[in-house]
Amino acid sequence: MLIDQKLCRHFGEDAVFRSSRSISPATLFDPELLKAVNESAVVLVVIGPNWLTVSRDGEQRIFAPADWVRTEIEIATAGNKSIIPILVGEVTMPLAKDLPPTISSLASRQYVRLHHRSAERDLTHIVDAVREKLADRERGVKLPKATNSVLLTSLGVTQRSADIKLGAADINGRHYSDSIVYQCRDFAHEPQGSISFNLGMNYRKLEVTAGVLDNAADPGQTGVFQVITDGQVRKEVTVRQGQPQNLTIDVSDVLNLRLLVYRPGTTVHPMLAGARLMGGQSNYLPELAWGKPVLHP
C-alpha cells in the first residue's frame, strides 16, 4: 500500500504497523493486533468506496461483533489515540448515524483525502499530519527541556537489534565509555544493527565517533554508519580501522533517532556461517561501534 510505503520511508519500518507486513506467518493474529493498536500513538483509518457496504452473510461487516476494523477503532478511541481518517478517491465521510455507536465519533474527525490524481501530494500531506500528531503528543507529555548534555545511552531505548550491546569501546587508541557496540563473534542475527531512541524534540545536537573496534579480529573491515532522524537518513559515513569519523548531527525538532550500522557482505545464516568458517572463509562479521554518543541542549 502506498500509505504504508510512504510512512515507512519517513518514520522507519519499525515505527509503522500494518498487519499484512508486520505480523509474521503462523503468529496468532488477535493478540498482535491488539498490542499494536494499544502501543500506537496515531491510528490511520483508510476508508474506501466499499468500507460501509461490504457485507458478510447479509450484514454490514462494520456492525459485526467480531469485525476487526471496528474493534481497532474502538480500542483507539478508548485509548485516546490520534485517529486520522483517510478518504480514498471521491469517498465521502460516513455519517455518525451510519456507524456503530461505539465509533460514531469517527464521523466528526478531520480527514485527509488520498486521490490517485494527486497521490504524491496527498501522501506527503498524510506524513505531515502524522508528524504533527506525534509532535502534539510529545508536547502533551511536557518533558522538561534539556538544559544539560546527556549520554544518548542514558535515554530509554525504543528498539534494539539482537547484536547491539551497550558498553565500552576502544576506537583508534581511545577508550569510549557508554558506547553502542555492534560486534558478532560466530554469526550475525541480522545483516544490520540498529538502535532507536525517543528524543522528544528535546535536544539540539548529537556528537558521536563512528569507528572499527581496535580489537577487531579482521582489522581491514569497512563499516557503514547511518544516522536516521524521523525516518530520514541524515548522515552516512564509511570508516576503516584507524580512520574513525567524528560526527556532529543537528537533532533539533527530532522525535525519533535511529542509529544503523553494518559491515557489507556480513553472513547471517548460522549454518552458512559455520560452513564458511570450516572452509577458512570470512563471514565478514561486524566489529563496529558508536563511541560515546552525547546529546547537547
Three-state secondary structure string covering the chain: CHHHHHHHHHHCHHHCCCHHHHCCCCCCHHHHHHHHHHHCCEEEEEECCCCCCCEECCEEHHHCCCCHHHHHHHHHHHCCCEEEEEEECCCCCCCHHHCCHHHHHHHHCCCEEECHHHHHHHHHHHHHHHHHHHHHHHHHHCCCCCCCCEEHHHCCEEEECCCEEEEEEEECCEEEEEEEEEECCCCCCCCCEEEEEECCCCCCEEEEEEEECCCCCCCCCEEEEEEEECCEEEEEEEEECCECEEEEEECCCCCEEEEEEECCCCCCCHHHHHHHHHCCCCCCCCEEEEEEEEEEC
Res 147 pLDDT > 50: yes
Tens of pLDDT, residue by residue over 208-235, are 999 999 999 888 899 999 999 988 899 9
* Residues 6 or more apart whose Cβ sits within 8 Å of residue 25: none
Which one of 11-25, 134-148, 173-187 scores highest in mean pLDDT? 173-187
Specify the pTM: 0.54
The CATH 2.60.120.1060 domain(s) of the chain lie at 150-296
Check if CATH label 2.60.120.1060 holds for domain 150-296.
yes
Across residues 61-81, what is the average pLDDT?
Answer: 81
Q: CA 20, 21, 25 angle in degrees (round to 5)? A: 75
| Residue 158 binned pLDDT confidence (cut-offs 50, 70, 90) | confident
Across residues 138-154, what is the average pLDDT?
Answer: 68
The CATH 3.40.50.10140 domain(s) of the chain lie at 2-141
The three cell numbers locating residue 166: 551497550
| Residue 166 binned pLDDT confidence (cut-offs 50, 70, 90) | very high
Tens of pLDDT, residue by residue over 168-198, are 999 999 999 999 999 887 677 788 899 988 7
Res 1 pLDDT > 70: yes
Task: Name the CATH code of domain 2-141 (choices 3.40.30.10, 3.40.50.360, 3.40.50.10140, 1.10.10.10).
Answer: 3.40.50.10140
